[in-house]
Amino acid sequence: MRHPLADRLLTKMNGLGNEIGILDVRGTGLPVDGAAARAVATGIAFDQLMVLHDPRTQGTEAYVEIYNRDGSAAGACGNGARCVAFVLFRDRAQDVLSVETAAGLLECRRLDTWVYSVDMGPARFGWREIPLRREVEDTGAVAFEIGNGAPLTAALVNVGNPHAIFFVEDLEAIDLASFGPRLEYHELFPERANITLAKVVARDHIRLKVWERGAGLTQACGSAACAALVAAARAGLTEHDARVSLPGGDLHIAWRENDKHVIVTGPVAFEFETRLDAALFEGVSA
């Protein structure tokens, strides 16, 4: 039986090198699950697959499911949301629209053809909100063993996804490719976590390296950039507004004082559009 996603149009984009696939199934009722996302990833490389479904909430353009390349679900993706905004704005005159994800409503704003901002909603710091398996005294300072006998302290925060932010003096002194996957699956994180090394360069500038759950080392992670700025500002290390530099480039992050929402602003790039090959879905149930 031919899989219903065969020959569906997929738009390939990236946000600062964060590879994004966008699959629009609005108006079809087609379900997409983790197995289908993994199948797509065997033919088209992506860090996150953004699946657009019919809106669930009045006033929104789409309900967006987010899958990592390993088929696991994500609650939010700042770079992916900007890429979704590009696709949705292509045939529209207005410059503001909203989409919905498992993490809530996201307001997207077009600043120019290739630059977008997304309101990621409020950051969350409660141990149940992150979530953690057990209560910790202070989610802003949790010690983890990294294998060499020297514990590192992380700030834990949820910005759509659970994040652990480690502030360090030297981003290259720790092998994140080894350290990241161990911490992603740490027993404290029932939904796994994104692991970030952060260096505060100035009150308005942070540099990051990110191990993204379900995707691995990434050129950029929008929600990690948001989490890092929030954690840094909360600790008094930076202002509430800063440039966040990742291997793929820079994002501008603002943690608004009035409503505590986090805004991510940055560029997107269009790569190509293609039809999904039916062979990708061999052995995948519809």
> Is 221 annotated as catalytic?
yes
Using the structure block, give the residue that is written with the tokens 């969350």.
Answer: 124
Q: Is 77 a catalytic residue?
A: yes
| Cα 80 to Cα 95: distance, rounded to the nearest angstrom | 18
Burial class (CB within 10 angstroms; exposed 0-12, middle 13-18, buried 19+) of 233: buried
The residue from 83, 108, 221, 226 that is catalytic is 221
In this structure, are residues 108 and 94 in contact, taking their beta carbons and an 8 Å threshold?
no
Q: Within 13 Å and on the Cβ side, how many CA atoms surround 75? A: 22
Q: Which residue has the tokens 């720790």?
A: 174
Give me 153's structure tokens. 């302290």
Other residues' Cβ atoms within 10 Å of the Cβ of residue 72: 16
Separation between Cα atoms, residue 223 and residue 122, nearest integer Å? 12
Catalytic residue among 77, 83, 108, 226: 77
Please tell me the distance from the alpha carbon of residue 176 to that of residue 205, in angstroms, as a whole number.
21
CA angle 60, 64, 69 (to 5 degrees): 165
Nearest to 40, CA basis, from 64, 6, 65: 6
Active-site residues, by number, are 77, 221
